[in-house]
Copies of this chain bind each other. A is one copy, B any other.
């Protein structure tokens, strides 16, 4: 197997190292020789001191027209990765990518091209970094109907939320620390707005629930509006706020979202802290299984890419037909009855409290804290998000409200 790398940054050089390190092992185990024959970079001069400088090329055409059997794309972003990957597949080269943007945006089309060209496209590293998730989901759990996927799948936001929880600090302060420590990027938008997690959950939902949806169409709420008081309100319920990327199917209703969720501190998801990732998959046969680890980083990601190399070497028959559940009714708001943590700020907290009990008369409402600021936090039970919003709208119409916000509570 001759390999071409697109990109020689952190992950690219990690993959190169693993190919060197494991070459003999793969020769022994699978009677297959693996070798990196080309590496694409725009500015190859900067690598001229490397012993393998001779394999660097500065044009994608040299790779497309070259002898590589596998092209490994680690450029990130949709362009020019999309073009390069498409050309590689059309030239009957297998493709491995760690690029979640690319797969979330163009996965279906690229898989179709791969099938038609008789090659494979693999992207284990796009979700959960080094933690094996996609392959176990697709292959080991194939006997299951997947009922739900709940994932803490963005290390940056989990680190920030953990620190806010542990040290009672405000979001902006923690973000700064995370940036200083290298856990958040200078422009943290994609992480803190939930876009990164949204891309990953659509990839998981596609593979697990056979449901294809553009990540931009799902409900996506980040963590940048969470303040220290929200964390305290959750603590009062023995809970933490976690940024959960999830999809859940009940009957033929399917809900996919990225949003902050109040989870019990001692629950499986509640115990996933700091920069750790966890993907919890519930299947009708297997029940709940969790895949957990640090995920990100040079060698963890390279480890996932390397697993895909071997997956191509073992040359298995891929599923030929892509199933898509047509009968799912996809909803943008949470359509199932649940509990909610609601925070209300009002000019007249007494009057608004009366109104709350009035408007939510058919739901259990429990005031969980009166805040010194004059706000109240309450837990509203057994209501879906449509009804909740409708009731909160009625509350707004009373004219007493200064502000209201709410979080889904997961009682599992």
Q: Given the known A-B contacts A132-B141, A314-B318, A321-B28, are A288 and B294 also in contact in the complex, defined by CB atoms under 8 Å?
A: yes
B313, A314: Cβ atoms under 8 Å? Answer: no
B320, A30: Cβ atoms under 8 Å? Answer: yes
A130, B22: Cβ atoms under 8 Å? Answer: no
Footprint of B on A, CB under 8 Å? 14, 18, 21-22, 25-26, 28-31, 124, 130-132, 135-136, 139-144, 268, 271, 283-294, 297, 299-300, 302-307, 309-311, 313-321, 323
Hey, which chain B residues are within 8 Å of A287, CB to CB? 130, 293-294, 297, 299-300
Alpha-carbon separation in the docked complex, A140 to B144 (Å): 20
Which interface residue of A136, A289, A304, A314 has the most chain B CB atoms within 10 A?
A289
A132, B315: Cβ atoms under 8 Å? Answer: no
Q: Is the interface of A mostly helix, strand, loop or mixed?
A: mixed
B131, A135: Cβ atoms under 8 Å? Answer: no
Hey, which chain B residues are within 8 Å of A320, CB to CB? 29-31
Hey, which chain B residues are within 8 Å of A284, CB to CB? 299
Q: Given the known A-B contacts A29-B323, A323-B28, are A286 and B314 also in contact in the complex, defined by CB atoms under 8 Å?
A: no
Alpha-carbon separation in the docked complex, A297 to B144 (Å): 15
A141, B289: Cβ atoms under 8 Å? Answer: no
Q: Which 3 A-B pairs have the closest CB atoms?
A: A143-B306, A316-B316, A132-B140
Q: Given the known A-B contacts A18-B285, A321-B29, are A144 and B316 also in contact in the complex, defined by CB atoms under 8 Å?
A: no
B141, A307: Cβ atoms under 8 Å? Answer: yes
Shortest CB-to-CB span from A328 to chain B, Å, is: 16
Alpha-carbon separation in the docked complex, A31 to B164 (Å): 51
Hey, which chain B residues are within 8 Å of A22, CB to CB? 142-143
Q: Given the known A-B contacts A30-B317, A316-B316, are A136 and B132 also in contact in the complex, defined by CB atoms under 8 Å?
A: yes
A130, B303: Cβ atoms under 8 Å? Answer: no
Alpha-carbon separation in the docked complex, A29 to B142 (Å): 10
Shortest CB-to-CB span from A296 to chain B, Å, is: 10
Across the interface, A136 reaches (CB within 8 A) one of B136, B285, B300, namely B136
B143, A307: Cβ atoms under 8 Å? Answer: yes
Hey, which chain B residues are within 8 Å of A136, CB to CB? 132, 135-136, 140
A303, B317: Cβ atoms under 8 Å? Answer: no
Shortest CB-to-CB span from A292 to chain B, Å, is: 4
Hey, which chain B residues are within 8 Å of A131, CB to CB? 286, 289
A-B contact pairs, 7 of them (CB 8 A): A26-B142, A135-B139, A141-B303, A286-B300, A288-B294, A289-B292, A290-B290
Q: Given the known A-B contacts A140-B136, A307-B140, A311-B139, are A302 and B285 also in contact in the complex, defined by CB atoms under 8 Å?
A: yes
Residue of B nearest to A291 (CB): B291
Hey, which chain B residues are within 8 Å of A317, CB to CB? 30, 313-316
Alpha-carbon separation in the docked complex, A321 to B22 (Å): 15
Residue of B nearest to A27 (CB): B321
Shortest CB-to-CB span from A146 to chain B, Å, is: 11
B307, A132: Cβ atoms under 8 Å? Answer: no
13 additional contacts (CB under 8 A) given A18-B285, A290-B291, A315-B317 = A21-B143, A22-B142, A135-B139, A139-B314, A141-B307, A142-B306, A142-B307, A142-B310, A143-B310, A285-B303, A285-B306, A315-B316, A316-B317
